[in-house]
A and B are shown apart, each in its own frame.
Chain A
């Protein structure tokens, strides 16, 4: 019986391996000597594609291959010297050349050269010499692993680019071919446009399975459904061909239908029931092997960015699609796997994600992130009465800035507008108070003047009276 594979890469001969457009493009590009890279989200089948392509190149005698998972070389405390030598050492072994040269000794003899230069020198004078006839294909997987190192490896990517450019001058380099795989954007990995290999290489897009591509998967449902192809169509409706979800859902159907085969006409309903009960309902506890939690974490882990990512996703949920603009947020959302780009539009990758990471979910996440969470809670606790819990002045301005372009819950808007009103009211009251104070001041002044005039008058009249009295006395 066909067994579906959930998580991890598929062996090259696995019957559930689905060949896609990317298989053909990658193979063609590599055999024509192009520098290829496959940068996409997790669990899209990158490593399986690498395995399959490698096997095809080898069986068709196109050359020798070495595949390296970069997480196996780097670690947090590794030095550049160890990393570059480690890479050379692994390549050396993967090409099966281990016995011919004592690499660490050879490396030491080069003395104090920068390690990237040693690697370059090693490729030219040892690797390409040891294998003088055949093309060599180097597959590097998990290249985003380099971001966890304590030093920048821009030089390394520079070297890959250099090797490619050397082809014009040194024909030996024409035999050296590279394919890079990982979860990253080119800009993430190398900021320097002069060093990046990604603007001269060929990007291989890895899309989900189309219905016709996925057809072989129906073999695992034979005998379990009257119309396996219809079941598969219903699966693809939900997964949009996302490889991990497609395999997982097919596996779930396979188990569930052991007891009762899926009758003609009930395919969509049967599949939907499984999607809802086994994937969407309590997804956080059913997500094993981990897939959805990785997407969630990728959205939420960076506090500074997650607000923007969430609101972008929210816009996708509301509008269905947005024009792809290549912004860093859009790129990150695509890398998380949550969004895909098709025909110039960005949209949520499939209905399963849309149901799990829905409006309510986004609202809850935003709620946890709102800068005024504590104040809001206290305000709600006071039954919306305690005005001292509202925002004012700079705090209000900051909150409004944070809320801009987000679609928040009614409670947020109620709180923010109450705050604005309160703030405006406070300002008005302050003005009025100032007014009143001025009036009082003017009044007081007027009174004071009156008193002064009055006292002048009384003083004058006193003076006049006393003058009269004096005159009367004198007379």
Chain B
């Protein structure tokens, strides 16, 4: 069983449970037999932090599955479920959410919004536009937005929409692949093909089509034609999430993206290829070194996910049953919230979740938000941990947060910070993406030991 299948099974078994990106990464790599040290190395985090994430992941999975889960037995546990394809009876009849509790316990506000959730707020016309595009043969949809903007939530809804129309669907999250996978083109294409086959329940016999003598790209195309498209006669959705992972490997990106483009173009003249609908979600602009001889990756329907409007935030607050957010005064109250946490869907949702618990007032919340113990504690620590191994990023970030004016950064630094959602870029000038981050990081970023940046 492959890590992606295991995650898909868990998604199915625990519909309310959502994994954060990092949890998925840790899960997948533990599944592949990696140690925490190796995982930390491959995704650029601190070792102790990854151990911590892992520990908490097993803990919460143990609770959800009602049995002891650990790094060493996760494979056995999940594979047992896979054999029975179901949960013990006790688990299936999950208790109905009591009317008194504002939010059912299971709907934790991290990760993508579950498909069944009431808390998904549509941002017209994006949903209808993308769902219509998905039904067109040979279409390609690009979802572009920083972190915490709801890319994955929309992507999952699109995939579900495809499934509702009898399409076979594959979702590949590129952050689930370890660093070695990106080391060379051949390895990456093999990973890509194998995962597609696994998810479609096809035998992944790569060696049948893979031939060193004809090169990886030709092999990969032949594989998709013979071992995938020839085996599946329904329309097929291939969704790639976190495509921005690829941009860190410019050489690979400049090989793979044009290949993807050529497959997309092939749909115009070949029936099998026109059965594929591509969905690509990425956090930053397509960032690959300029290859003058290649067509740019500029095809398909490009959707830039916007932040919530005030009305949308108010609607979400309404669904959280927050009386103080209703009406005109409520809008004023919400504005004071948005000034700190910005109107990024992910951050707003966390805030409303915390406020809906009823233990804290808005003022108290705003005071605690940028601290370690606030609701954003985990999220902020995760960002801090991501910055930890990179003093250059810390320095640049401090510079942006301290400046009164937009700041010009070196492109790669800017790209990496934007990728983390920490800055907004407009015409190469960086500004803090929200007040929450500014306050937290100015307090917790290590002070620079050398002279100031730039």
Contact = CB atoms under 8 A, between A and B. Distances in A.
Given A75-B255, A289-B299, A12 B213 contact: no
Contacts of A74: 217
B382 interface: no
23 contacts: A8-B264, A8-B299, A9-B268, A42-B295, A55-B269, A72-B217, A72-B218, A72-B258, A72-B259, A74-B217, A86-B215, A86-B217, A86-B218, A89-B218, A107-B213, A142-B293, A144-B292, A288-B298, A290-B298, A291-B298, A297-B290, A297-B292, A298-B292
Contacts of B218: 72-73, 86, 89-90
A67 interface: yes
B306 interface: no
Nearest to B294: A71
A165 interface: no
A51 B215 contact: no
A85 B268 CA distance: 25
Interface in A64-96: 67, 69, 71-78, 81-83, 85-86, 89-90, 93
B298 A51 contact: no
Interface of A: 7-12, 42, 47, 51, 54-55, 67, 69, 71-78, 81-83, 85-86, 89-90, 93, 104, 107-108, 142, 144-148, 183-184, 284-285, 288-291, 293-294, 297-298, 301
A437 to B, nearest CB: 47
Nearest to A42: B295
A4 B411 CA distance: 34
Interface string B207-249: 0000111111110011001000000000000000000000000
A9 B265 contact: yes
Contacts of B214: 82, 85-86, 89, 104
A71 B221 CA distance: 12
B269 A51 contact: yes
Contacts of A146: 293
Contacts of B300: 7-8
A301 B214 CA distance: 32
Nearest to B218: A86
Contacts of B290: 297, 301
Given A42-B295, A69-B262, A75-B255, A10 B268 contact: yes
B84 interface: no
Contacts of B266: 69
Which of A93, A285, A290, A294 gathers the greatest number of chain B CB atoms within 10 Å?
A: A290
Q: Kindly name the residue among A12, A89, A104 whose own CB sees the greatest number of chain B CB atoms within 10 A.
A: A89
B302 interface: yes
A156 to B, nearest CB: 15
Interface centre among A86, A107, A145 (most CB of B within 10 A): A86
B74 interface: no
Interface centre among A67, A104, A183, A289 (most CB of B within 10 A): A289
A184 B294 CA distance: 11
B262 A71 contact: yes
B296 interface: yes
B291 interface: yes
B215 A288 contact: no
A264 to B, nearest CB: 31
B314 to A, nearest CB: 26
B298 A7 contact: yes
Contacts of A51: 268-269
Given A90-B218, A144-B293, A81 B269 contact: no
